[in-house]
Structure 1
Amino acid sequence: MRTGFARRTLPLAATAALIGGALTLGIPQPAAAAVPDTIPLKITNNSGRGDQVYVYDLGTQLSTGRQGWADANGTFHAWPAGGNPPTPAPDASITGPAAGQSKTIRIPKFSGRIYFSYGQKLDFRLTTGGLVQPAVQNPSDPNRNILFNWSEYTLNDAGLWINSTQVDMFSAPYAVGVQRSDGSVATTGHLKSGGYNGVFNALRGQSGGWANLVQTRPDGTVLRALSPLYGVETGGLPASVLSDYVNRVWTKYASTTLTVTPFADQPNTKYFGRVSGNVMNFTNSAGAVVTSFQKPDSGSVFGCHNLLDAPNDQVRGPISRTLCAGFNRSTLLTSANQPDTNPADFYKDAVTNQYARAVHAQMADGKAYAFAFDDVGNQESLVNDGGPQQAYLTLDPLS
């Protein structure tokens, strides 16, 4: 188990504006009264499964910064003090709808996650540092054999952002939605017919260790596919799985300039990358070096962290996000101008993020959060609105 949320969680997008996949601070903040303290979340169970569903709304209360959970009425409850070793968290579960039914709860102004599980409650613990999240890449995690998933969301005075995420794993399918202030409804996250099994079949058919991402129960029931980052960390994927592509990129840009234009609304803001001494240095239009990157390893690429760390600033972060997307989508060799935002160009190299390729290929609208900065070029499975009337979480069939 681990503390904290995924390496790239939705709250970042809720405090910034998504412009061409890059984050820029300072979006207009409407009056607090524009968004009520809670909004309804309609949960519909179209899974076709007979298992009891349990729902959890966990996160950080934005008005106070306290961590805790919300009950079905949207009332906030702070976590009690934890311990070392971790102590059991209070039961924050909400009984979800039966198959073919819907249930509406209320969600407060949170930055957090909505978990759901089938057939068994999740095991949450508290340390002295806060909530311990499930970490099913660990075989001894108590949630390892539970079928579950989660959505990330932020509800604040500027509106609602809610996504379907596969950054950590691909598992029980679901879609999210929002009813906008004009009454229209936007949704994302639905798979194509047969898409759930299609993702697992694609990974199993891919040589090089990708099949090892698929986790099953002892009885053979498929539970999830781990992200390739966890595949590398647990040894299921070789640490060198992306090395060939990274080496080719580094070779190319030793003699060619990589031009990064990270902000779609600022076409004159460009950075220029060249490899020298095994380091890619980026200069601005005045020729000054603004940031540098050592050659990333596979884990840094898959996680968009470590050697591809992306602080929430206006220079290194936007460049790193662009590089991360280019490496995962294998577009850095086909175009020296990045980001490449044309999905027809993605995942064409033999060495690529096969997990992200498989997930995107099975999404009904092609959108997914299959790696941390899949929002570069607006490829993410995210809906948002400044005046949300209602949110939706739809549990889809496992087929």
Structure 2
Amino acid sequence: MATLNFNLVNQSGSSTAYAYITGQAIDNSNALFLLRADGKTAYYPTSPSATLTALAQDCAIPLGAVGSTTTVTIPYLAGARLWFVRDGKLTFYLNPGPALVEPSSSNPSDANYNLFWDFCEFTWNSSQLYVNITYVDFVSLPIALALTNTSGTTKTVQGLPADGLATICTALKAQNTTDGAGWDKLIVTNNGTNLRAVSPNTGIVLNSGLFSTYYAAYVNQVWSKYASTTLTVNTQASAGDVTATVSNGTLNFSTGSITYAQPSTADIFSNSSGAFAVSGNSTKDAITARLAAAFNRSTLLIDTNQPNGETVANYYQNPVTNHYSRICHATTLGNRGYAFPYDDVAPANGTDQSGSVYDSSPKLLTVTLGGGATTTAAESVERVAAGTDAPAPLTGNPKQSRLRKTLRKLFQKK
């Protein structure tokens, strides 16, 4: 059976930090997999007779003292997550199936809700190792990635600086002062301490009515523009370029009778409901990914060619935009990290926003918990306001959206 080593580096500032690894074991009929506390032994839970049954094995991998490196070994895994928690341990449960009940950032009654925890995502199979940091649900602990292949080449995602959460929370409060839209409600605290900043999609779950009509005026402007102008979307797939105009209140594409009603704010932030629900039609789903990305980045009024007419400098320039995503990208070292589900959409040969590394011949993945740099308050404000860090050029496979959406489905709680 193929195996691969991960080095887990504890720079969290806490000597009581733990890791957990979950996924589906490809070489064991995609069985539910957890790694036991020794970092080497597989645990395949059996189906329990009742919901919310405790795990039968200890799966909390201790990361040791600050500065320590812990090596773990994994088999081929699909839809996998590498979880981290600081100053405590996470609680996982099993439901009949077996199905894993994961920690939740959108359920205040969850046993893990008031802990500092976070995760990155990966799949390793015979084709490649694919890993990404993610802010799709929330951001809390800084996580950085370094993937070295068998030729000795290393690809990195620097992630957040050590003070990244504080910077993001400060910027969300500042944005709310500017527009009063409720961005400060995305900040989750415990006893006055910032625990995490949740995405707008998660924030809508936690705060009834939040952002309910936030994008409405912008969507109306987009619909008005394309009633007299042609929109071109490059599917970056076999369908190539497709064009659309608005008539009778509907965005109508020139291929396959593909149409879109006006998306709601919830559709735009989730990328997966209403007008942007997954259809099963590969061409439409490719269009949806690029429309959803354009709405989150608010580029449809300035670029009629999506996404190939875009540049990173045009992202988030409209006052109505996904400011959570804007702030996350401005805060990360290198501007990379998934802040909404289709954040991997990019122009052909463009700049990667997704915070992913992947290689067909991996040798070692190093994951650092804690961040590698600290900025002063003035530097943080300046960087978030200006977004001065230049994103790294895209290398490798530029079409990860469909994989990303598949992974998101696998990660949903049963």
TM-score normalised over the length of structure 1 = 0.84
Cα distance change, pair 300–83 in 1 and its aligned pair in 2 (3 A): farther
CA distance in 2 between counterparts of 1:222 and 1:92 reads 27
How far 1:83 sits from its partner (Å)?
4.7
How far 1:192 sits from its partner (Å)?
4.6
Post-superposition CA distance 1:117-143 (Å, at most 9, x none): 011111111122411122221111111
Which position in structure 1 is the counterpart of 2:54?
88
For 1:335, which of 303, 326, 349 is the aligned residue?
A: 303
Identity of aligned residues (%): 33
Which position in structure 2 is the counterpart of 1:43?
8
Q: Is the 8 A contact 2:159 2:337 kept in 1?
A: no
Structure 1 or 2: larger helix share?
A: 2
For 1:271, which of 232, 242, 253 is the aligned residue?
A: 242
* 1:1-399 superposed matches below 5 A: 37-50=2-15, 52-63=16-27, 64-71=29-36, 72-90=38-56, 91-111=58-78, 112-129=80-97, 130-192=99-161, 194-207=163-176, 208-217=181-190, 219-235=191-207, 237-263=210-236, 269-284=240-255, 289-306=256-273, 307-310=275-278, 314-339=282-307, 340-377=309-346, 378-397=352-371
CA distance in 2 between counterparts of 1:312 and 1:384 reads 26
CA distance in 1 between counterparts of 2:225 and 2:211 reads 24
How far 1:104 sits from its partner (Å)?
0.9
CA distance in 2 between counterparts of 1:308 and 1:155 reads 29
Post-superposition CA distance 1:286-335 (Å, at most 9, x none): xxx44222211111111110121245653011100000100000001111
Aligned with 2:184: secondary structure?
Answer: helix
How far 1:224 sits from its partner (Å)?
0.4
TM-score normalised over the length of structure 2 = 0.81
CA distance in 2 between counterparts of 1:329 and 1:233 reads 22
Q: Is the 8 A contact 1:330 1:346 kept in 2?
A: yes
How far 1:158 sits from its partner (Å)?
0.7
- Matched letter for residue 114 of structure 1: L
CA distance in 2 between counterparts of 1:194 and 1:122 reads 23
How far 1:172 sits from its partner (Å)?
0.5
CA distance in 2 between counterparts of 1:131 and 1:73 reads 19
Which position in structure 2 is the counterpart of 1:13?
none
Cα distance change, pair 341–192 in 1 and its aligned pair in 2 (3 A): farther
CA distance in 2 between counterparts of 1:104 and 1:309 reads 40
How far 1:74 sits from its partner (Å)?
4.0
Q: Is the 8 A contact 1:44 1:97 kept in 2?
A: no
Q: CA RMSD in A?
A: 1.9
How far 1:362 sits from its partner (Å)?
0.9
How far 1:341 sits from its partner (Å)?
4.2
- Matched letter for residue 200 of structure 1: C
Aligned with 2:252: secondary structure?
Answer: strand
CA distance in 1 between counterparts of 2:101 and 2:335 reads 32
Q: Is the 8 A contact 1:290 1:315 kept in 2?
A: no
Q: Which moved more, 1:136-145 or 1:152-161?
A: 136-145
- Matched letter for residue 40 of structure 1: N
CA distance in 1 between counterparts of 2:49 and 2:112 reads 19
Aligned with 1:249: secondary structure?
Answer: helix
- Matched letter for residue 173 of structure 1: P
CA distance in 2 between counterparts of 1:83 and 1:115 reads 26
Which position in structure 1 is the counterpart of 2:389?
none
Cα distance change, pair 317–189 in 1 and its aligned pair in 2 (3 A): farther
| Structure 2 alignment gaps of length 5 or more | 347-351, 375-414
How far 1:269 sits from its partner (Å)?
1.3
How far 1:113 sits from its partner (Å)?
0.3
How far 1:171 sits from its partner (Å)?
0.8
How far 1:193 sits from its partner (Å)?
6.7
CA distance in 1 between counterparts of 2:51 and 2:42 reads 26
Q: Is the 8 A contact 1:321 1:373 kept in 2?
A: yes
CA distance in 2 between counterparts of 1:312 and 1:103 reads 42
List structure 1 runs of 4+ shifted beyond 4 angstroms.
Answer: none
Aligned with 1:325: secondary structure?
Answer: helix
Cα distance change, pair 364–87 in 1 and its aligned pair in 2 (3 A): same
How far 1:283 sits from its partner (Å)?
1.5
How far 1:84 sits from its partner (Å)?
4.5
Q: Is the 8 A contact 1:55 1:115 kept in 2?
A: yes
Post-superposition CA distance 1:26-77 (Å, at most 9, x none): xxxxxxxxxx711110011112234x11111101111211112123454432
CA distance in 1 between counterparts of 2:358 and 2:281 reads 23
Q: Is the 8 A contact 2:133 2:159 kept in 1?
A: no
- Matched letter for residue 37 of structure 1: A
CA distance in 1 between counterparts of 2:170 and 2:23 reads 34
How many residue pairs get aligned? The number is 356
- Matched letter for residue 140 of structure 2: S
Q: Is the 8 A contact 1:163 1:382 kept in 2?
A: yes
Q: Which has the higher contact order (CA 8 A, sep 6+)?
A: 1
